[in-house]
Each structure stands twice: as structure tokens, then as C-alpha cells.
Amino acid sequence: MAKHIRIFDTTLRDGEQAPGCSMNLDEKVRLARQLEALKVDIIEAGFAIASPGDAAAISAVSEALKSCTVASLSRSLEKDIDASWNALRKAVRPRIHTFIATSPIHMQYKLKMQPEDVLRQAAAMVAYARNLCPEIEFSAEDASRSSPEFLYRIFEAVIDAGATIINVPDTVGYTTPDEFEQLIRGIRENVPNIDKAVISVHCHNDLGLAVANSLAAVQAGAEQVECTVNGIGERAGNAALEELIMTLHTRRDLYDADFGIDTTQIAKTSRLISSITGVMVQPNKAIVGANAFAHESGIHQHGMLANSQTYEIMTPASIGLNRNFMVLGKHSGRHAFVERLKELGYTADKQTLDEVFAQFKELSDRKKTVTDRDLEALMDSRSTLIEPTYLLKQFVINSGSNMTATAAVKLTRDKKDIEDVSTGDGPVDAAFNAIERITGISFTLEEYVIHAVTAGKDAQGEVSVRVSHNGRTYKGRGVSTDVIGASIKAYLFAVNSMLYEESYEQ
């Protein structure tokens, strides 16, 4: 009988710690709902003690999800555990995930504790957490550089104290598949009460081995794998969920393991992550890269025409890529539009549907056909929980090869129009300068990325920006067939995000 592998998604916690990948509360809730649609088993929603924003996001995710387990990370300290439990109270299935470092280097230089003191504190804090929450996961930070004998002892102690999941992290991406497989087998064979707990693994990708190490652990008996969508995370990232799952799916003959993931939601989830963070997936990325199912070589193309399995070991449809896009146009009605959104997995209130339908009609006047990717871009570019302070009313750009670019921008705030004009080094810079003059907020542009949503000269341009102000960074994104318009929308999104976060913190 195939063993069942639980998928613990930490995109909202570990993934968000990657530079440029921070998310606001609304974005975390949107992504959590999509992760639930992907059918991950556990979502680690944040680190409650880290900030009021993290605690609020965990609480919001806990309230929004209907079936998924929600976890909050905690150090092995009472104040951390209390913060996690307070944030998780509304979850259908709450889990406190507590950790302490167990490697000699971490215990000596970071914790400044003796091994026996670490063991006692771990067991005591697991017991404390178990009195609050029905499900406790314990992680031995830097386990891959820890003494196996010490791991056996600490795991036995925390299981006795109430932990039902013990996690073995390769925190700095140091181990190799053979070595990690031996470590997991050693835990199974030398922890007397291991039958009372699930073995989990959490691998980082510093040497490019996170997925390989995770799969080696599965072969050795691990029943839970911690990962992130697109492999995002600190430094070189985490084990990529899509690579792990599609390996288990494609090589069932080798791993004899099943899982609850709906693989047809993988592509959509990957795109949503990129849309929210502004971090694009490289074209040759396994599973979800733009070239993952592209075949340019003549020999490959000939084989594909004869039988797709000659060069494709999985189908695009298996991850949710539909090559036969549903096409809508300017004569399509609201009913067809709403039904297509439902088929794509989107739900929204009437006001949002009214606004997006108006955008769709405007887009269909500019484009001959509107594809599924266009609809997804329209929906993913929205932030339904943020009430924008400034709305774009209109803009006029004057630019050319032998003239200084000038932008006239008109925004609306509190139902009053505000207009200003500015120059710049090109039309985008001029428009951004005009927005700064209107709002009185000066940003430093850290990153500006533009890409086409679909093929063709009339494709929508999706712009992502990352800006900084007073030591904090904010992201924005915008979509339009006019790249200047998309750029202005993205910049204004960042302005509104900053004002929203400031108002929320007050």
C-alpha cells in the first residue's frame, strides 16, 4: 500500500523571508485560499511573535480557511507560544510549530546553552504548547549538522511531552541525499517512541539539493515534507513544492507514495506567487518555467508530433496548463464572463465582478481576443481588501527621441481630482515624478519588471515594481495593454499599499 505524504507549505512564512517577497495581509489571505485550493495539508501562515502584522495575518488566514491546518512558528519560549496560540484560535485545525537549535555551533554561539539545557527546554515548551493546542510540531533547527545521538534523545523527549510531528530541518542546505537518508533511517530506528509521531523534513537549497534531499527522506520513511511554491525562501530558497509533487506523481514506480495535492492547480498557484511578489520564475525552471513544455529542436519537434511522450514525461494539463484557451471577446456577455471566472477558480463579490467586467470590456475593445491568461492577470492584479487612497483618473504623456519626457497625471482622492505635471528621464520616470508631486511621497525605485501576459502585439503588459520609503519596501503591480498605463497603476498600487499599512498600524 502506498504511503501518504503530507505537504506542509511554508510559502507564507519561510518563503516570505526571501528578499523582495514580503506580502501584506490581503495578499497572504489570497495566497492561502489558493493553497487550500491546491489542497496542501498544512499552511504555515507566519511567525506570530515576529510582528503585529504577522500575528494579524495568521489570524486572518486561520479565519479564512475552511479545511486546511494552519500553523504558526514559535521559538521554544512561552511568549512565542502564547502569541502563536492567540493568532491561531480561529483556525479549524490549529498547529503550534515550535523549534530550538540542536547543532553544536548553534547551541554554543547562538543559544549559549548546554545540550542538556536545550533538551529540557524543548520538552518543557512542547508540554506547555500541548496544554494550549491539540497539535504540536517540534523542529530541531540545524538538524543536519547535529549529533544524531543527541537528536534521538531530544526527539524522544519532545514526543513524550506531546509532540506528534517531529521535523528534521536541513537549515543551511548542507546535507546530501545519501547522508540525509541515513539520518532519517537512524531516527526511525533509534527513537523508541517514534511510532507516536510523524517524521517531517524541511530542506533548504543552498547546494541545489533541497528536492533531492526531501525525496531521499521520503524513501527513508518521512511522511511530511515542508516546501514552498516556486521554491522561494531565504538565501537559495526551499524545496520547490511543484518539483517534489511532480516527481512523486511521475515516478510512482520508484517512490510508491501518494498525496492530496490537486496538481492541476500548480501552474495557477505559481503564477499567483509571481504576481504577488513580483519575482518572476526563470524560463528554464522545472515544471512551471515558460520553457518547461517548449520544444525548439527539430528532432524534438518531430518526436512530439509522432508521440508527445517521446520528449514529455508529464503533460501540460497535469499542472493546469490548458493550451486550448477559452477565448472571449467584446461581444461576450456578463454570464459567459462570470462562468469562465468560476471555471478558472475565481470567486468575488458583486462590486468586484462589476469592476473587473468593466475592465474586461475595456480590454476587449483593445484586443481582438481575451484569453484565460488575460482574465487571470486582471483578477490577480487586484487587491480586494485594500481600500485605495488614490485612484487613477487619467494621464497624458509627451515623449520622443529629441524631447524631454513630460507626464500630466490626474488622481482622485476623497472624490476630489488632483493633477500635476512633471518631467523625467523617459515617460515612466516622468509619470512617477508626477505621482510623487501629487502625493508628496518620495520613493526610491528598487526594481521595475515588465513582461507580456500573452503573445501578440496587443498583449497586456504586466508591470511589477518594488519601492522603498523610510527604510521599508512596498510592492505594486499593474496590468494594461499600454505599458505606461500598467507602470502608473503599479506605482500607484505601491503608494496605496504604503498608506494602507500605515493606517493599519495606527
pLDDT classification of 96: cutoffs 50, 70, 90: very high
Nearest to 211 by CA among 236, 194, 187: 236
pLDDT attached to residue 27 = 87
- State yes or no: pLDDT of 371 exceeds 80: no
pLDDT attached to residue 340 = 80
- State yes or no: pLDDT of 304 exceeds 80: no
pTM score of the predicted model: 0.81
Cell numbers that stand for 449 in this block: 519588471
pLDDT attached to residue 219 = 97
pLDDT attached to residue 297 = 39
Q: Give the mean model confidence (pLDDT) for residues 290-316.
A: 58
Q: In the chain, what are the domains?
A: 3-277 (3.20.20.70), 334-380 (no CATH), 391-505 (3.30.160.270)
More confident residue, 372 or 436: 436
Q: Give the mean model confidence (pLDDT) for residues 271-289.
A: 88
Q: Among 333-337, 433-437, 451-455, which range has the highest average pLDDT?
A: 433-437
- Model confidence pLDDT, tens digit, residues 118-129: 999 999 999 999
More confident residue, 135 or 460: 135
- State yes or no: pLDDT of 307 exceeds 60: no
Distance, in Å, from the CA atom of 405 to the CA atom of 316, rounded to the nearest integer, reads 44
- State yes or no: pLDDT of 23 exceeds 80: yes
Nearest to 54 by CA among 84, 94, 97: 84
Distance, in Å, from the CA atom of 293 to the CA atom of 308, rounded to the nearest integer, reads 10
- State yes or no: pLDDT of 207 exceeds 50: yes
pLDDT classification of 504: cutoffs 50, 70, 90: low
- Model confidence pLDDT, tens digit, residues 63-81: 999 999 999 999 999 999 9
Q: Give the mean model confidence (pLDDT) for residues 251-260.
A: 94
Distance, in Å, from the CA atom of 265 to the CA atom of 287, rounded to the nearest integer, reads 12
Distance, in Å, from the CA atom of 35 to the CA atom of 281, rounded to the nearest integer, reads 18
CA torsion 347→352→358→359, rounded to 10°? -80
- Model confidence pLDDT, tens digit, residues 401-447: 889 999 999 999 999 999 999 999 999 999 999 999 999 999 899 98
Look over the chain and give the mean of its residue pLDDT values, rounded to a whole number: 89
Q: Give the mean model confidence (pLDDT) for residues 34-62.
A: 96
- Phi, then psi, of 241 in degrees rounded to 5: -55, -45
The one-character DSSP state at 269 is H
Burial of residue 107 (CB within 10 Å: 0-12, 13-18, 19+) is buried
Give the angle 73-136-13 at the CA atoms, nearest 5°.
20
Distance, in Å, from the CA atom of 427 to the CA atom of 421, rounded to the nearest integer, reads 12
- State yes or no: pLDDT of 294 exceeds 90: no
User: 477 CB contacts (<8 Å, ≥6 apart)?
Assistant: 275, 278, 381, 462, 463, 464, 465, 489, 490, 493
Q: Give the mean model confidence (pLDDT) for residues 43-59.
A: 96
Cell numbers that stand for 178 in this block: 545519501
More confident residue, 16 or 505: 16
**Cβ proximity of 107 and 66 under 8 Å:** no
Burial of residue 333 (CB within 10 Å: 0-12, 13-18, 19+) is exposed
The DSSP H or E segment spanning 136 is strand 136-141
Centre a 10 Å sphere on the Cβ of residue 60 and count the other Cβ atoms it contains: 20
- Model confidence pLDDT, tens digit, residues 209-247: 999 999 999 999 999 999 999 999 999 999 999 999 999
- State yes or no: pLDDT of 289 exceeds 50: yes
Residues in the chain: 506
pLDDT attached to residue 296 = 39
pLDDT classification of 298: cutoffs 50, 70, 90: very low
- State yes or no: pLDDT of 359 exceeds 60: yes
pLDDT attached to residue 356 = 84
